[in-house]
Each structure stands twice: as C-alpha cells, then as structure tokens.
Structure 1
Amino acid sequence: MFGYMKHVGQEWNEKMRESPKVVGASVGIITPLVVLLMFSESLRSVVQFCWQCFFKPFTSVTSNNNQQENLEQFYKSQAKLYDRTRGVLLQGRETSLKLSLSHLSEKKGNVWIDVGGGTGFNISQMALLTNLDTTFDKIYLIDLSPSLCEVARKRCKEHGWKNVEVICGDACDFEIPEESAQLITFSYSLSMIPSFYAAIDHAVSLLDAKNGIISCVDFGVTNESMLVGRTNTLGGLVNRHIPWLFRTFWRLWFEFDKVFLDPARREYLEYRFGTIKSLNCYNYKLGKIPYYIWLGCNKDHEQHLQARFVELAPTSPYLAPITTSASSNAQPMTKAMIAALENSKKGLPYPSLFYQKEHWRVYYDEVNPEYSQFKNSYIYAFTWEDPREDVNILNIQPEDTILAITSAGDNILHYATLPNPPKRIHGVDLNPCQGHLTELKLAAIRSLSFTQLWQMFGEGKIDRFNNILLNKLAPYLSSNAFQYWFENGTKTFDPNGAGLYDTGFTKWALRLAKWVFKVANLTDEVNMLCKAKTLEEQRSIWDKKIKPVLFNRVVGKILVGNPLFLWSALGVPRNQAKMMGSSTLQYIIDTLDPVIDNSLISDDNYFYYLTLKGRYSSRSCPDYLKEGGFKSLSRESPESPLDRVRLHTDTLKDVCERLSKKTVSIAIIMDHMDWFDPQGTDVDEEIQALWLALNSRGRVLLRSASKSPWYIKNFEKFGFSCKAVSARYPGKCIDRVNMYASTWVCQKISTASQSNNRRLSSLDLENN
C-alpha cells in the first residue's frame, strides 16, 4: 500500500512540473501524499501497532495455554518496531529508572535484574542516567519472548555492553549465579505474567535483603474500598482511587491483549515488600490510562528498620510512649509501635514511613478525618514568627529539647542553625502539607548545592523541578511527601510562574500587596523601600508614599477588616480576630508602622521583604538560606543538626501525651492558643498535656493578638507562672514582625499546689 502511494505521488509531481495549471487543482491531494511519503516508516509502525493491539485480539477465537507461544504470537511481527510504538503508551519508565537509581545504597558494583526487559529499552535508558560499567557489575535481562530477546541481544552488541546478559526464560524460575541482586525492575511486565505471585515470590528470594531495591511501573487500577486495613503500608493515597468508569473500561480493553490491570498484582507487591515510594499516575495522551510507579524493599530486613525501631523503644525520650492510664504500669506505646505490631500480626509490611532513609517524619495515618479540613494544601508557605526573638527570650541551650509549631519550618531550621543547637527539635502541625513543605526543605539542605537551595527557597523557583526531585531529593523524602511534590512541585516552582511564595493561603496577602501597589502606582516606591540603606530613608519613603495608600479607610474596610480575608490571606481565624480589638485596621496600623523604625527591610527584616517582593534577597532571608547556616546544617551525619529534627502530624495535645513525661524543656506554640474557643474545654486539656511533657523547669513561649489573653489564667491554675515578656503599644515594636500584641513565657513550677495535682489526676482519669 505504501509503495503504491509513493508511486502515485511521483506521478502527480511530474504532472505538476509539466502543467502549472494542475498545481492549484491538485494541491489538496498532493500535500497529504507528501506527508505520507515523509513519514511512511513511522506510519507503517503505527498501523502495525494498532492492528496488533486494537484489532487482532478481536480476531482470536482460541485460547493458548502456553504463555511463551502467546507472547510470540503477539510480539513476533512487531519486535523490531516495538520501541518506536511504545513511547506514548508506556509512560513512566524513565521516571521509574531515575527513582530506582537514586535509591540505590551503593553507586557501583550492583547486580540488576530487569524482569520482562523485552528489547533492552530500560538498559539503554539507564545508560543515559549512569555509567553502566561502574554502577553495575552485572545486568540480567529476563524475557520469555525469543523475538524480543533477539532484538535485545542485537542492541547489546551495537552498544558494546559487556556486562549485560539476555536470558530467554520464565520470570518465575530463572536462575543467576549471584546470590542476590541490588536492583530488580518490572517495567510493564507484571501485568502480562499469568503466575504473577510466583514471579514476585521469586523476586523476594533474589533481592538483597539489606540494600536491595525493587521497582515496578505498570498499568493498574484500584479504588478506595480496597484500602481498608492497610492504608499505612501504601506510602500515600494521592490519586490512588481510580473512578469506576476508568477502572472498568481500561481493565476490559486491555484484557483483549492479555494485559491484566486487576489490582491483585500491585497489592501482592505491596504485601510481599515494604513500600519506599509510590506514585499513581494517568497517561493523559491516550485517554487517561491509569498506571503506577512503585519502589519497594525487603519488608523485614531493610537497612533502615533497625534504626527506626530503636527510636520507638519505650525508653526513648524523643518518640515516647503514652500510657493506658494515669496509674498503669503497662508497657507504653507510640502510635507507630501500635501500627507496627498490628501490621506484623496480619503479616503485612510495616508502615511505609518505617522504610524511609530519613527519620524526620514521625508516623501518622493519613486517613485521619481531621486532615480533610486543609484540602490537601498548606496554609503557610513561610513562617511569620520571629525566631531570633525566641532565642533571645529563652536563651536556648544545647541540652534543651524544643517542641514547636511546624508552620513552614523556617523557625525550626533557625533553631537548628544556632552555633550550639538544641539536642532535639519536635515540629508539630496537624496539617500534613506543612510537614511536606518542611520535609522538602530538610531534603534540599541534605542533598542539593547551596545554589539550588537558594533557587528553591530564596527565589521560590527552579528549573526542571521534577528531575531534581527524582534524582536528588526523593531518597530523603517520605513517600507521602514525595507524592505531594511530584503532583504539585513543577507548578509550584515553575521558573515562569509566580513561585513558591504565591502558594498556600498566605499567597493572598502577597497578591493583595502587589495589587494595591500596582493600582496606586507605587511599585517603584516599594522597590526603593526594599533598598533603603538607613532607617531614616526607610521612614521617609514609607510616610510620604506608601502609608497613605495602605492605611486608606476604604482599603481597610473592604479587605483588612473582612473576616474572610483575614483567614484566607493572613491565616487569622475568627476566635483570634475577636482578640484584636474593635478596629482591625488600627491593629494592622499598630503592627506595621513601628516596624519601619525598628529594622531595615533591605537586610534585616526578611518577613516584610518577602511580603513586598515575593522572594528573599541574599541579605534579607532566614539563616538557613545563608551560606553559613547552610554549611552548619548540611554537615555529614551524625553531626548534622538536621538529624535532631522530628516532624509530627498531629494535634499539640496528642503529641505532648505521646512524648515521654518531663522530657521537653521548651515549648514554642506561637499564637496557637488564640485559635481556641473560650467556652470550650480544649484549652485545659492541652495545657495539661504540656504540663506533663515539660520537665521541672520547662517553659512555654506563646504569642497572642491580645495584651491580656484570656487563657493565661488557665495556665496559672495548672501550675505555671506566667509573665508578659513584651507587649505592643502604639509606636512600639516587640520584634521584627510585630504581628502580635504580646509575648508570654509560662514557667512550669515544679512544686505545684496540691489542688492542682488533684485536678491533673482527675483529668487524667477522665481522659482515659
């Protein structure tokens, strides 16, 4: 057919040259023929592919029980053109290889088994990522199709791969001379193996128990009803649920080609191995075909398990145990230990968080209904509280254990960059996405250069984010955080977009400032303010140009005084807004005006520099984004202060109850108490939990929108001595942010009154 079309095209070209009059009449016919001539080979490949995959299956009326013959019947006529026709269909293969390579413990001397490796495409792609001779002592390509194996052997010869051996054999019982392999991959092969359970069991026997990585990329469907009882083993639920229509249609369609999308294959992988990373994706180019990328390890002997269990020991002062009652002598348990024991009884792998390289993220179960209120987004892309003032007030020492609200993690990283950082820093936040953001910062410090770190969190933008995520950041992230950033990171850090700091709820504050200044034609003045070299110059620009517009009564009434705006843009809840006084606009004036005389925005107040510019500058930024801070944090383990950080995804009350009693010396809870309802009982329960977690001289530092917070009396009745260490008055600035009306330190009194002790015991019994 294609030869005939070529012949017809040549005849038409000759006629066109002979008679120009024919040109106009025939151009509509000649153009498509020329295109066909140019791409005849590609079109032939596509036609054959479509015939084999979409039409031929309907012509088959008999079933062959020989798997090798079935494969040959399918692949023999398309083996040579296989790679040209699978690029669009088999998505995620390169991603899977990058992820696998980045998680290998050793970068040389490995054994790799590519099960169902077909034509050797995976090996050629891996050769683009690493030196095959250095990274792998031996590579085995296993496939049951002789035709595909023939193409693979030809490819090996053409590329001169001396350490690659092609084995035409069954995935369930092939043999290799080595005792174990450090990498085993299934690339769109598991869905075509009838006895998949045997193939997976065979992989279990071959995988290096301590350092081995197994990965799989394949078509597959699943739904939320299949997740009951094992959600903590899956490494995250982002896109895990496939809608009924897609589940049903694609599963039936692929079965005609003897490709099975049933969830049993993936579920058995997740049962036999521990999950390190997991992604759930769609092939949007071909009708939203669901596929997944999964990375696992030996579920009982993986190298990071021992360290994880050591941290969970009942004697640990860091991830401590909650008792069953106030007077019980029973063995205490953490949530993580409880989950691990329950999984072990069922024969399930441990929770996915147990298999992660870093121990920053403390175990949490992401199906907690309390997380749904955050709608899979963080509120704060940056932290407003001034950590330098925390250090000045509290005189933080190396022997301190700090419990702090995580927020965007900037405050936690500030404590870690101190010359003599505290021995442990617990970050607490109920919003999982705040933990994901802080994890990303920790991973970036651990794995990236200072230049890349600055691009991500100084400028809020970086090119090819997903490539950096897969190749460098992924091994240092939990699977849950990895899923989140794989889904959202490219858009968040897009060099052509607004950047990181235009995300979260707080983006509205930055957008409002930018909009107001643009409408008022003050953009140049704002730039001048951010470059001012003296406080006098800063005050002059502020008073003459910016202040009259920003504090306009109309702007204040419509925006700043609007409760919806306060929550959406500034993260101010209704209960806290009531504590600001009768005039929200006056509160904002008292906040901003004194800042101008207190610190230079250009080099000492990164909070407002970011608000005005949407990014940091090298002089005005958090300490972890300065070269000195980066060097102190990125020291090799076990000396790095990053190893002292733990991120809890829970309520402050629950975390305090599960920490060993009297192990926390400092709790920095920001403005957290302002959020409580004065008529409720939650505040008493939380203060009680803090009292029990703090040591004999433990202190709580808090900030409030009120000079006289209503809950201070609650602290006092539980045995705290409370003092306002600073209070804001018109014209006075209490720190670089000056957002709060007062800062308090509540000191635990070790000899609380008997009545307070009786109250604590009573509440203990009620809670249990």
Structure 2
Amino acid sequence: MTGNINTVIADIASPIGSISETATDAAGRNFLKNYMEHVAPSEWLSLNAATIMLSILAPLMLTLACNETARSIVLFCWACFIKPFHAKSSHSADNQQKNLELFYKTQAKIYDKTREVLLQGRFEALQLAYSHLPKNKKGLIWIDIGGGTGLNIEKMSQICSLKDTFQAIYLVDLSPSLCEVARERADRLKWTNVHIMCADACDFEIPQHECADLITFSYSLSMMPPYYAVIDHAYELLNENYGIVCSVDFGVQSSAHVTGRVNNIGGLMNYHIPWFYRTFWRIWFECDKVFLDPSRREYLEYRFGTLKSINMRNKTLGNIPYYIWLGVNKDEDHMLSHRFKVLAARSPYLAPVEQGTPLKGSQCPTSKELEVAASNTKKGLPFPSLFYQREIWRAYYDELSPHYDQFKNQYIYAFTWEDPREDAKILNLTADDTVLAITSACDNILAYAALPNPPKRIHGVDLNPFQGHLAELKLAASRCLTYEEIWSLFGEGRIANFKKLLLCKLAPHLSSNAFQYWMSEGARAFDISGHGFYDTGSTRWALRLARYIFKTMGLSGKVTELCKARTIREQQLIWNKYIRPALFNPIVGKLLVGNPIFLWKALGVPTNQAEMMGSSTLQYIIDTMDPLISRSLISTDNYFYYLTLNGRYSKDNCPVYLKEKVHEIFASESNSPLDRIRLHTDTLNNVLSRLAQKSLTVAVIMDHMDWFDPNGNDANHEITALYNALQFGGRVLLRSAATHPWYIKSFEDMGFVCEPAAIRRSGESIDRVNMYASTWICTKTIELDARRRMSSLDLTH
C-alpha cells in the first residue's frame, strides 16, 4: 500500500510541475484523470492525512493552475504542506545540504513569489538595520547568512546605494538551487560587489576581510539545526565596536522565558505568545523542518547586547508570531564606554554634558543602572538594553514594576497644560541651574532647554512609562527630523509615512522600549485619516466631548470663528453669546464636570485634587475659563486652548519646541541643549533619593502634591526628599487647585520659606492656562537635623 500511495503522490506532483501559464482545460482534465486512476475509492481510508488533504484540495488546485501566479501557489502548497510528509530526509548533520535541496530544488525559481506574504518584516528589518549603521564610515561589509535567492540584497538596494554603502556583500547559503537564483539575480542587476557563497553558516570565511559591519539572518536561523555554532561564528565575524547583527524570524516566546533577564531583551511589549499560538505554529512549522522554539532568539539575546527588539504578528496568515531583533557586541560596543562615563559622575544622573573620566572602586556611586549592570555581569548576561542605545536620555527602569500596571499601555497627556512662559518669569533659569520637573508630555522640559541660557541639566520624572516613550519621541524628532517632518508630527498631529520615518530616522535615537511602543501605536496615533495625535491619551475624552457638544448644538462654526478672532472684543462676544452657554449648561455640569470618574478618566484630575477645588467643580471650571477670554487671544497667544478646540497648532501659535529657529538649535550636531535632558521612569521620591544631595537648584513639580492624601505621610516624605536634593537657596515651583494648599505648612516645617507667586481671584487669570488656583515658590533656607525633621513631621500626623 505504501508503494501505491507514493505512486499517487508522484503522479499528482508531475502534472502540477508541468502546468504552464498557457495550460488548457484539457491539461486540467488529464491531470484529474491521472490522479483518479491511481486512487480507487477503496483505498481512501488507507491514505495518510497529507494525501487526503490533497484529494480534497485537488479541484481547487486544478482551477488555480491556469497562470504563472497560480502555478507558483500550487507548487508552494505541494512543497510545504504535502511533500514533507513523504520526502525521505536524513537527520545527519552531513546531509543538511541534501535535506535543504529536497525542500528547495522544486521551488527555488518561485521562492520569492510565494514567500512575500508568509515572511513578513524583512524589508522593515533591513530599514531598521541600515538606520543604525554608522553613516560616516565608508566601505562597509555585509554578510547575509541564509540569504537564499538574494532578495534581501535587492530590497536593501531600495533603501541605499549598494555600491556607495558597501565595499563587499556576502550572501551565504547552503542550498545550491537558491544560490543559483541569487547568482542570476546578481548578474541581471549588475551587482559588482556581491559575492555568492554556497557554504555552511557555521564555518564559512570571508576572504580579505577581518570583520563585518552588518550581519543579517532573514528567516534563516529557524532552519539551522546547529544554531549555536552559527550564532557563535557570527559573533566572531562582527565588528566589535560598530557592528550590527539583525534577525527577523518566526518565534514563539512566552513571559516565562524572561525570568531573570528581562532588562536585556529590549522590552516586553507583545513578547508573550498565548499557549494556543505557541503550540499550533510550532508543530505546524516543524513539519517543514522550521523550528520556532524560543531558544534561538534567547541565544541571540545572550550572545549579543540587544539594541532593538519588536514582536509582531502576521495577521494575514493566522497571527503567525515573528520578531525583528537588532544586536551589538555585548562587551565592546562603542556606546558602553559613554554610558559608563555618564553614570560614573558624582551622581548617576548628574553627569556633565561632556564625557569625563570614569571613576573606579568606592568612588563610583551606587545607582539602579550600575547595580543591574553588575548583576548581569555576574550571570554572564549582556548589560541592560539601555546601555547600548545611541542616546542617553532615558535612565534605566524596571519594566516589571507593579507601579506601571495602572497606566494600561497608554499615556495620559499628549500635551502639557502648564505655561512655561510663566515658569521662565518666576524662576529666571540660568546655565548654572540643575532642574527637575515632571515629564508629562515633555513640552515644558523642551521649553526649558530652548531658553537662551538653558540649565546645565534637566531631569524629567514621570511614573508612567508611556509618558517617557512620548518624551523620547519628541526628543528624537527634535534631534533628527526636518522641520517639516516634526511640524507634521506634533504641529498638525498627522503624517502619512510614520512607520517609515520611525524605522529609517527615529529608531536610532529611541530606546528599544520606546521604539516597541511607537512601532505598535504610532501609525494609528498619527494617521492622516483619523483625528490625529492630539486625539490620543486619556485626556482625549474631554476633547471629544467638547467637539460632540459643539457639533450637536451646531456651534462648530462658532468655534472656528473663536479661534480666528483678531480682537479681544470679538473673542468675548463669540464666547459669551454662543459657546459658554453650551459648555456650561446644567446637564454637562452635573453629569460630567461634577463626576469624579469623568474628572479622572477625561481630565486627569484625581479625587484628592477634585476635593481641593471647592464645593462646586463646575464653578471652578467657569472661573478657569471666563477670565481667559479677556486675557489673551486664543488665535495667536494661547496655544493651549487653540489646540484643544482645533486638534492642531498653528505655526504662529504653538509650543516653543515647534518653532523653526529652536528646531535648528536642537538639531545641531554639537552642544545641543537636548544632551542636557535625562528622563526617569520612577516615583519622584526614588529619583530624588538617587540624586546627589544638594545638587538640584530648581524642582518644578506642577500640581503633583495635590494628589496626596492629606491624612497620610506621602507628602512629608517627598518634601524631605526635595529638601535633601536641593541646594541652599534651591526652589520648588508648584501649582495647586487650592488657593492655599494644605501641604504648604509641611514645607515650612521642613525649613522652606513659601510665598505665592500668583493666587487666582474670581474673574482674573494668573496665566494663559488658568487651570490652577495658585502658584507657589518654596525656597530652602534653613539647615535642619534630618532626624529631628522626620520625627517632628511624623508626630504631626
């Protein structure tokens, strides 16, 4: 019976292989007749699962086999889903080439046509890898291991000039049939620097060159049984200081695989594959000798330092999981020395802008980053992924901290409400200042960096990791994009080619965690057909509600007129006659503005802060909005409310970082103010405790302390941390929903002199936002014994 079955398979395969694009119905009938002659109904139950599948699919295959594309599909189905059940393969390492030929010989010519949908992410992987190569170095060497037909090289030619970028390109593959297709492609496209090597990936040699600047694996590691040897050989060939290794491949990871090494894998977003998909796709691909087990990727993450990592799904074909991963030499990469020099200053986050000499032994202060790096070294693991990034903006944070669970994978604020113009007037910052501020959407941090004499260091602190990802995106855009591109992103809030921009320009300036987030969310956030970037974040609900109310009441046109008004009188008329009555009617006031759930989810106002607004939240909002209309023109001098009403900025009414002159300063290659910024993803207390004592001159904590429980000790502990970190004469700038917040007394007990910079009166505004009832400056003036401070404050509560 086995012989009969094999005869069936052979005879079925023969006509499939011979059908051409000019096939006729007669050929189809002959094919079907040949098939039916060998399979009697009595034999059906004896056929194995693969033959039964073919019997069911035969009519469909017959219909498809009438043109070249359909023929390719039929051959692909035969080679991948049927032939593996009958082909005799050897498990001997010496016969690996023979096994590959059994699989590829009949489909080498159609390989590229039939894999485009299955093998996704290859072009994106090449874009990402190229963006990380040194741009000032000529004569690069690229090795494409398992490069097959040479399609990767052709795709790379769409990204850069092969001749100008690479001195030599080596395509290494063990299949003679695929290498032959690659040679034909090289001849056809006249590649003079491409060398096709039919060789074993474990021990091939590149003549006349000592190391490679780029090594790629494109869906090849999963087909290499001795992958340890292959990866080790790649490690030996890679340029130690500037070399990049890139892999795009199938993978079935789970969160259980990251125990003890989460900090060096480049982020957990979409990393975990549910059990069903892990099991199903692993079994399915093993039929074709393709191994999706996680050990291949894990060994990459062990052998190299992770530079970038993203986890994707092929949604076209049943959510097949695949990943794109970028790595560097884990011990010699050029960014390591810079990272350690920054960390080895007298405070782990207060390093000078210029690179200094690293301290040794007891001189080196303890920091979270250095502690983790030391722990990884003891385990033989690479350093945390952040150590290998080009930019040093982001400080290390523990991605698995339960503190981050509350943020549900999103930032709250897409833009910052506090008015940096008032901050500049109150604080009079200079180049001698070291500033700590709440990160929020990073607008104010960028405003401080844009001052004529920016502070020597600016620390942004936010517990929400996604606010940090947003801050990184704005910093990266300011660093590397053209003014038109950054305006499209954050001025208009829409751009057509975000994914390409991210892969080709922004990625080298982002941490792997931030890159993962924007690779997943960015295209949707900046979609030109949607509401735009400023319709993202938790606060989008308030903006949507306002738009809905205006549309329902037929006031959309009046809102447009308000945003175009050229005089205060015209602005007041439109507001008082049309918009104010709609926005502050009793239904809106009772069901929304006065609702604690809406205040938190839509406006970001927690319960403790809401209670500080007084007996009527609606009246508080009225007192916020009414005076603004008489203070400044929304159309030209109040970009906060202009954005709220329009969903975008205008070029003469926008945050300072979106001004063209400021962008030129930020994008400068030397001494950019952006180099002075550090981003911390932690509580304010934890960050303050890690800063050198008496190293801060200014702390801008926004309305942060309004969130604390008046009956708890959280405020006292934070005030103590602020006191320790500030120099004498150091100042804390804070805003509050109360005219006289309850925690001012605690500041005074700690040794601060507290004075209001502004207190809002009914009918008056204190700045262009006017969202807070008061602004305070608390200055450290008295040295107190730490034990006496803490004990007195604890007795108070």
Decide: shared fold, TM above 0.5.
Answer: yes
Q: 2:73 maps to which residue?
A: 46
Task: State the one-letter code of the partner of 1:52.
Answer: A
Partner of 1:403: 436
Q: Which amino acid aligns with 1:58?
A: F
Instruction: Tell whether the 8 Å contact from 2:414 to 2:537 is kept in structure 1 after alignment.
Output: yes
Partner of 2:10: none
Matched, 1:702 2:734: yes
* Alpha-carbon contact 2:389-2:511 (below 8 Å) kept: yes
Q: How does 1:136-535 map to 2 (within 5 A)?
A: 136-176=166-206, 177-316=208-347, 318-319=349-350, 332-535=365-568
**Tell me, what secondary structure is at the counterpart of 1:80?**
helix
1:7 to 13, 24, 40: 24
Deviations 1:650-682 (A, max 9, x none): 000100000111111000000000000111111
Q: Displacement, 1:317?
A: 6.7
Matching residue within 113, 133, 141 for 1:111: 141
Residue in structure 2 matched with residue 90 of structure 1 by the alignment: 119
Partner of 2:355: none
Q: What is residue 738 of structure 1 aligned with on the other side?
A: 770
CA distance in 2, matches of 1:448, 1:75: 43
Per-residue CA shift, 1:457-503, capped at 9, x if unaligned? Answer: 01110002101100111000000000000000000000000111101
Q: Distance in 2 between matches of 1:248 and 1:34?
A: 29
Q: How far 1:81 moved relative to its partner?
A: 1.0
Percent identity (aligned)? 62
Task: Check the 8 A contact 1:362/1:647 in 2, yes or no.
Answer: yes
Q: Distance in 2 between matches of 1:172 and 1:124?
A: 25
Q: Deviations over 1:1-41 (max 9, x none)?
A: 546994338999xxxxxxxxxxxxxxxxxxx9999589521
Could you tell me how far apart the structure 1 residues matched to 2:201 and 2:119 are? 20
Question: Quick one: which amino acid aligns to residue 749 of structure 2?
Answer: K
SS in structure 2 opposite 1:247? helix
Amino acid at match of 1:448: L
Unaligned stretches of 5+ residues in structure 2: 1-14, 30-58, 352-361
Distance change in 2, residues 1:439/1:193 (3 Å): same
Q: Which amino acid aligns with 2:743?
A: Y
Mapped pair 1:125 → 2:155:
yes
Does residue 667 in structure 1 map to residue 696 in structure 2? no
Q: Distance in 1 between matches of 2:365 and 2:89?
A: 62
Letter aligned with residue 543 of structure 1: N
Q: How many Å separate the matches in 1 of 2:89 and 2:26?
A: 42
Shift, 1:763, TM fit:
9.3
3-state DSSP of counterpart to 1:490: helix
Quick one: distance in 1 between partners of 2:675 and 2:309?
24
Q: Partner letter of residue 478 of structure 1?
A: S
Tell whether the 8 Å contact from 1:5 to 1:33 is kept in structure 2 after alignment. Answer: no
Q: Distance in 2 between matches of 1:184 and 1:610?
A: 46
Match of 2:684 among 652, 656, 663: 652
Mapping for residues 25-104 of structure 1, pairs under 5 Å: 40-60=67-87, 63-65=90-92, 66-104=95-133
Rounded to whole Å, the distance in 2 between the matches of 1:759 and 1:90 is 64
SS state of the match for residue 732, structure 1? coil
Contact 2:90–2:96 (Cα < 8 Å) also in 1 = no
- 8 A contact 1:607–1:737 mirrored in 2: yes
- State whether residues 9 and 34 of structure 1, in contact with CA within 8 Å, keep that contact through their aligned partners in structure 2: no
Q: In structure 2, what is the equivalent of residue 29 of structure 1? A: none
Q: TM-score, normalised by structure 2?
A: 0.90
Q: Where does residue 634 of structure 1 map in the other structure?
A: 667
SS in 2 for 1:458: helix
Distance 2:792 2:292 in 1: 56
Alpha-carbon shift at residue 346 of structure 1 (Å): 0.6
SS at match of 1:425: strand
Cα contact 1:9–1:33 (8 A) shared by 2? no
Instruction: Give the distance between the partners of 2:363 and 2:512, measured in 1 at CA.
Output: 33
AA aligned to 2:177 is S
Q: Which runs of 5+ in 1 are unaligned?
A: 13-31, 321-328
Q: Helix, strand or coil: the match of 2:722?
A: helix
* 1:544 and 2:577 are equivalent in the alignment: yes
Contact residue 509 and residue 611 of structure 1 kept, 8 A: no
Q: Which residue of the other structure, out of 554, 565, 581, is the alignment partner of 2:614?
A: 581
Distance in 2, matches of 1:259 and 1:218, equals 10
Q: 2:724 aligns with which of 686, 692, 700?
A: 692
2:37 corresponds in structure 1 to none
Per-residue deviation, residues 375-427 of structure 1 (Å, max 9, x unmatched): 01000011011111011001111110110000000010111111111111100
1:28 aligns to what? none
1:714 is aligned with what amino acid? Answer: S
When residues 126 and 719 of structure 1 are mapped into structure 2, their CA distance, relative to the original with a 3 A threshold, is same
Residue deviations 1:77-121, cap 9 Å, x none?
A: 111111111101111100100000000013631000000000101
**Map of 1:727 onto structure 2:** 759
Do the aligned partners of 2:23 and 2:65 also contact (CA within 8 Å) in 1? no
Q: Secondary structure at the match of 1:99?
A: helix
Counterpart amino acid of residue 405 in structure 2: S
SS at match of 1:158: helix
Q: Secondary structure at 1:696's aligned position in 2?
A: strand
The one-letter code of the counterpart of 1:521 is G
Cα distance between partner residues in 2 of 1:250 and 1:487: 22
User: How many Å apart are 1:759 and its aligned residue?
Assistant: 2.4
Q: After alignment, is 538-547 or 734-743 more displaced?
A: 538-547
CA distance in 2, matches of 1:400, 1:4: 74
| Shift in Å, 1:554 | 2.0
SS of corresponding position for 1:211 = coil
Q: Is the 8 A contact 1:458 1:621 kept in 2?
A: yes
Is the contact made by 1:6 and 1:37 (CA closer than 8 Å) also made in structure 2?
no
Query: What displacement does 1:532 show?
Result: 1.0
- One-letter code of the match for 1:140? Y
Q: Secondary structure at the match of 1:602?
A: helix
CA separation of 1:61 and 1:168: change in aligned 2, threshold 3 A: closer
Q: Report if aligned partners of 2:331, 2:382 keep a CA contact under 8 Å in 1.
A: yes
Partner Cα separation in structure 2 for residue 741 and residue 9 of structure 1: 86
Alpha-carbon RMSD across the aligned residues, in angstroms, is: 2.1
Which secondary structure does the structure 2 equivalent of 1:105 belong to?
Answer: coil
**Counterparts of 1:609 and 1:597, CA distance in 2:** 15
Q: Which amino acid aligns with 1:313?
A: A
3-state SS of the aligned residue for 2:492? coil
2:358 corresponds in structure 1 to none
